[in-house]
């Protein structure tokens, strides 16, 4: 059977770090988001949670930045593809996406290039919300840091609290959908977990099903194709 | 338990600062021991602001008049609001409203996040780096539990500070308002009766709210209210997402992939 190398080691490493950082941020953040969760915990545990939250935040912000510095061409190429004009298949994919999620046996999706149009929209939204979280989080951290001793106005800090939590909700919902699809919990996507948490390869059949145009190009070039 | 309140009558206050000292003494709150700790401002107000170690100050608004100075004093400490922004903002439930109306920070639970310091419309709670905790007046809960008056009230030599059931204090404040108006203070106003759904420190500002440095029509900041709305909205959003994805999962049970398109001939 033929396999195509879809995700590089570099991309998978960044994804691993980001997965750990994201989960740590959500879990530790939840204790500050829902007072009822924090109510029964010792203050020391909560302070440890805040520390972990900040360490995870550094990873959350730093790893993609370092990843971009290490391989700027790949990142630039990815963004170039994200902003390419949509093809009729892209538009059809978006139109059918919701019906497909609730009736995968009846709705058939069109072929896609390397990135599905829905994937592009979700990824870009996730990047925007991540940036908003990072910016507001930085203000919230710097604003209370005795070391930096920078004083922001109370109204600015209140806006940052709102932006941080609002963006977290949006990113959290996107993340749930990402896990559902990306981890292959959704039956038509079974097997996609290997892309980020395995060796980054996808079988020819899976590739043709998910990203038909891209699979054909890859199989033609043979550059990233292996027989197993 | 009945709601309690302090009533501060500025027309009776001489700004002796006995209340400041009594508060520090009862709570054993330290004063700075270094020389020139406070900036010299030509005002009798000292210190200039409440702090983690000074929970109450007397503010001095000193207005030059043709003859002498017009003194406008105000008691600056926690207002113990019924609609308390600090309580809403606290992420760990460390700030609570007591049955007697006091808004209290539980130091065992405070994590020093400073959300309350940015939420309070009066800028009252103050964070201390050494303990990484936030402090403010707690309406002497320990004294009240032992049937004693709040420290600041006990020491007031002119009767400017009184304490009792809130309904009685409101009635006393209204009587005092009529009295000072009869004495010619036309701009006299009460503060705290209705503001923020009723405070547990009431004020008689005989020269008007602004003259005594009080914020007219204080409100819980809009952004704090929007922010608090996010909590239930977030819960609904996550529940809807989980529900929707669960439905999607159920709809995919028994799914079999359609035959893939015929592979195009691949050049070798």
Collect contacts of A210-213 with beta carbons under 8 A, ≥24 apart.
Answer: A210/A112, A210/A116, A211/A111, A211/A112, A211/A113, A211/A114, A211/A115, A211/A116, A212/A111, A212/A112, A212/B261, A213/A89, A213/A111, A213/A112, A213/A113
Mean pLDDT of B191-208: 97
What pLDDT is recorded for position A188? 93
What pLDDT is recorded for position B70? 86
Instruction: Compute the mean pLDDT over every residue in chain B, rounded to the nearest whole number.
Output: 93
Q: What is the per-residue DSSP string for B168-212?
A: HHHHHHHHHHHHHHHTT-TT-EEESSSGGG-BSEEEEETT-TGGG
Helices (H) and strands (E) in chain B, counts: 7, 10
Mean pLDDT of A86-93: 94
Q: What is the per-residue DSSP string for B12-45?
A: G-----HHHHHHHHHHT-----STT-SPP-SSS-
Q: Is the pLDDT of residue A216 over 90?
A: yes
Cα nearest neighbour of A149 on chain B: B129
pLDDT band at B188 (very low <50, low <70, confident <90, very high): very high
* HSE-CB of A164 using CA atoms within 13 angstroms: 24
What pLDDT is recorded for position B268? 43
pLDDT band at B257 (very low <50, low <70, confident <90, very high): confident
Instruction: Report the alpha-carbon distance of residue B159 to residue B176 in Å, rounded.
Output: 12
Q: What residue has token string 């809130």?
A: B166
Sequence spans of domains, chain B: 4-212
Residue A181 burial (CB count, 10 A): 20
Tokens of A9: 């080691």
Chain B residues whose beta carbon lies within 8 Å of the beta carbon of residue A36: 93
Sequence spans of domains, chain A: 2-227
What pLDDT is recorded for position B262? 53
pLDDT band at B259 (very low <50, low <70, confident <90, very high): low
Measured between alpha carbons, how far is residue B129 from residues A144, A151, B114, B134 in Å?
10, 14, 11, 9
Q: Is the pLDDT of residue A26 over 70?
A: yes
Q: How far is B100 from chain A, CA to nearest CA, in Å?
A: 22
Of A34, A188, A212, the CB nearest to B257: A188
* HSE-CB of A215 using CA atoms within 13 angstroms: 23
SS3 state of residue B109: coil
Of A105, A176, A220, the CB nearest to B266: A220
* Mutation to test the B interface, candidates A161, A189, A204, A222, most B Cβ within 10 Å: A161
Using alpha carbons, select from B123, B108, B52, B117 the residue that is nearest to residue B89: B117
What pLDDT is recorded for position B9? 98
Q: Is the pLDDT of residue A117 over 60?
A: yes
Q: B4-212 sits in which CATH class?
A: alpha beta
The sheet with strand B201-205 has its strands ordered as: B161-165, B4-9, B201-205, B189-191
- Determine whether the interchain pair A154/B123 forms a contact, defined as Cβ–Cβ distance below 8 Å: yes
Of A35, A208, A220, the CB nearest to B261: A208
Over residues A188-212, the pLDDT tens digits come to 999 899 999 999 999 999 999 999 9
Q: Is the pLDDT of residue A93 over 60?
A: yes
pLDDT band at B36 (very low <50, low <70, confident <90, very high): confident
Mean pLDDT of B123-148: 96
The CATH architecture one would assign to domain A2-227 is Up-down Bundle (1.20)
* Helix H or strand E segment including A54: helix A43-70
């Amino acid at each position: 059977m033929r396999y195509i190398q879809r995700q590089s080691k570099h991309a998978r490493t960044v994804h691993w770090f980001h997965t750990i950082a994201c989960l740590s941020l959500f879990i530790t953040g939840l204790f500050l988001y829902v007072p009822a969760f924090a109510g029964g915990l010792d203050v020391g545990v909560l302070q440890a949670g805040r520390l972990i939250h900040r360490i995870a935040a550094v990873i959350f912000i730093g790893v993609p930045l370092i990843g971009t510095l290490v391989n700027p061409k790949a990142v630039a190429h990815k963004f170039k593809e994200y902003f390419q004009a949509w093809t009729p298949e892209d538009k059809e994919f978006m139109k059918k996406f919701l019906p497909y999620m609730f009736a995968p046996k009846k709705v058939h999706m069109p072929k896609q290039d390397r990135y599905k149009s829905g994937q592009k929209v979700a990824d870009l939204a996730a990047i925007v919300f991540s940036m908003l979280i990072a910016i507001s989080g930085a203000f919230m951290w710097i604003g209370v840091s005795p070391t930096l001793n920078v004083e922001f106005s109370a109204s600015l800090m209140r806006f940052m609290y709102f932006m941080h939590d609002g963006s977290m909700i949006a990113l959290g919902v996107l993340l749930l959908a990402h896990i559902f699809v990306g981890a292959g919990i959704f039956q038509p996507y079974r097997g996609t977990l290997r892309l980020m948490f395995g060796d980054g390869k996808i079988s020819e059949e899976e590739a043709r099903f998910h990203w038909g145009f891209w699979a054909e190009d890859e199989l033609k070039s043979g550059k990233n194709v292996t027989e197993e | 338990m009945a709601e309690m309140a302090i009533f501060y009558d500025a027309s009776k206050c001489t700004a002796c600062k006995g209340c400041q000292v009594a508060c520090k003494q009862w709570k054993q709150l330290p004063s700075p021991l270094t020389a020139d700790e406070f900036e010299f401002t030509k005002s009798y107000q000292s210190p200039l602001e409440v702090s983690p170690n000074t929970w109450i100050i007397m503010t001095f608004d000193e207005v030059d008049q043709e003859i002498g100075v017009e003194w406008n004093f105000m008691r600056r400490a926690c207002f113990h609001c019924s609609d308390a922004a600090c309580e809403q903002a606290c992420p760990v439930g460390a700030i609570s409203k007591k049955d007697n109306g006091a808004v209290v920070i539980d130091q065992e639970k405070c994590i020093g996040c400073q959300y309350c310091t940015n939420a309070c419309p009066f800028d009252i709670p103050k964070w201390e780096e050494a303990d990484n905790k936030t402090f403010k007046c707690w309406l002497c809960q320990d004294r009240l539990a032992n049937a004693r008056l709040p420290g600041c009230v006990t020491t007031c030599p002119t009767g400017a500070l009184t304490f009792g059931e809130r309904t009685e204090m409101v009635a006393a404040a209204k009587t005092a308002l009529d009295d000072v108006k009869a004495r010619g203070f036309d701009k006299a106003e009460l503060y705290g009766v209705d503001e923020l759904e009723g405070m547990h420190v009431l004020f008689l500002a005989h020269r008007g709210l602004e003259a005594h440095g009080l914020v007219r029509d204080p409100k819980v900041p809009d952004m704090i209210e929007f922010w608090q709305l996010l909590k239930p909205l977030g819960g609904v959003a996550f529940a809807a997402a989980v529900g929707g994805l669960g439905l999607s999962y159920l709809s995919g049970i028994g799914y079999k992939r359609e035959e893939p398109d015929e592979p195009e001939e691949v050049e070798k």
